Amino acid sequence: MARAYDPLFITSDNSPIDVPSPSSSSMTLTKDELKRIAAYKAVDFVKSNMVLGLGTGSTAKHAVDRIGELLRQGKLENIVGIPTSKKTQEQALSLNIPLSDLDAHPVVDLSIDGADEVDPRLNLVKGRGGSLLREKMIEGASKKFVVIVDESKMVKHIDGSKMALPVEIVPFCWKFTAERLRRVMEGYGCEARIRLGEKGEAFVTDNGNYIVDMYLEKDMGDLNLRVVSDEILRLPGVVEHGMFLDMASTVIIAGELGVKIKNKHSSC
């Protein structure tokens, strides 16, 4: 049941955050408001003159909006954004955020992005919105990667939500690749489904590829995710998968009772 939200309740960090006002009078926040709170907190890490990785999805959208707002107000200056998708690129352009790419800026100071799952070691599942490849390239090139989630994204282990584990593959003979993927994960009761778009056709990523969503019946538990990752990446036809292992520096989790910040290598 929803409880009253205390915006000053923050663990693992001592600075209260600039909390957007809840839309409801009861002071209980919607999931979207929680996402916005996590996003605002992440933008506190942004300083003028930074090269920023701009994430994709309903949570990252709030961070991009906030960066645009602070630029407009003159509270941030000389920011260069590197968008992780065409959609984010459009949003950033509409906010007049100056943009670049990894060719011109191979080192990114800070990336801020959402995630579909976060495990206790800060490993992530990403890509349920289809943007995992550019996200992994840009966030992997970042000195700091701040992940923003509402508390529903926290899982005991990767694939804990039993939703899709996305893999980007080339369209050429996709059924062959999907079957190879299924076989790699067979021990976990894997069903590998091609992702479909709104009209029932194959969903096409910004890179012109397809996504296979792997659904696992059995828990991967504390299995060595690196081994699974390597096996998937070794398959010809696979471009990248949505497990982001050991990449997040910080995870900001907005929940009913407040904001929690988890840093890599910290036990809290």
Ligand X SMILES: O=C[C@H](O)[C@H](O)[C@H](O)COP(=O)(O)O
Residues tagged active-site: 135
Using an 8 Å Cβ cutoff, are 10 and 33 in contact? Answer: no
Q: How far is the CB of 184 from ligand X (least distance, A)?
A: 22
Pairing mode, if any, of strands 80-83 and 51-54?
A: parallel
* Closer residue to ligand X, CB minimum distance, 35 or 180: 35
1 exposed, middle or buried (CB, 10 Å; 0-12, 13-18, 19+)? exposed
Neighbours of 226 (CB within 10 A): 11
Whichever of 116 and 119 has its CB closer to ligand X, that residue is 116
Least CB distance from residue 193 to ligand X, whole Å? 16
Please state the closest distance from residue 70 (CB atom) to ligand X, in A. Answer: 20
Residue that the structure tokens 């997040």 belong to: 248
Choose among 101, 97, 128, 106: nearest CA to 115: 128
Closest to ligand X by CB, 31 or 183: 31
Q: How far apart are CA 195 and CA 212, in angstroms?
A: 6
The candidate with the shortest Cα–Cα distance to 88, out of 79, 78, 97, 75, is: 97
Q: Closest separation between CB of residue 207 and ligand X, Å?
A: 12
Coil, helix or strand at residue 217: coil
| Contacts with ligand X, residue ranges (CB under 6 A) | 55-60, 113-116, 126-132, 135
By beta-carbon proximity to ligand X, the closer residue of 81 and 130 is 130
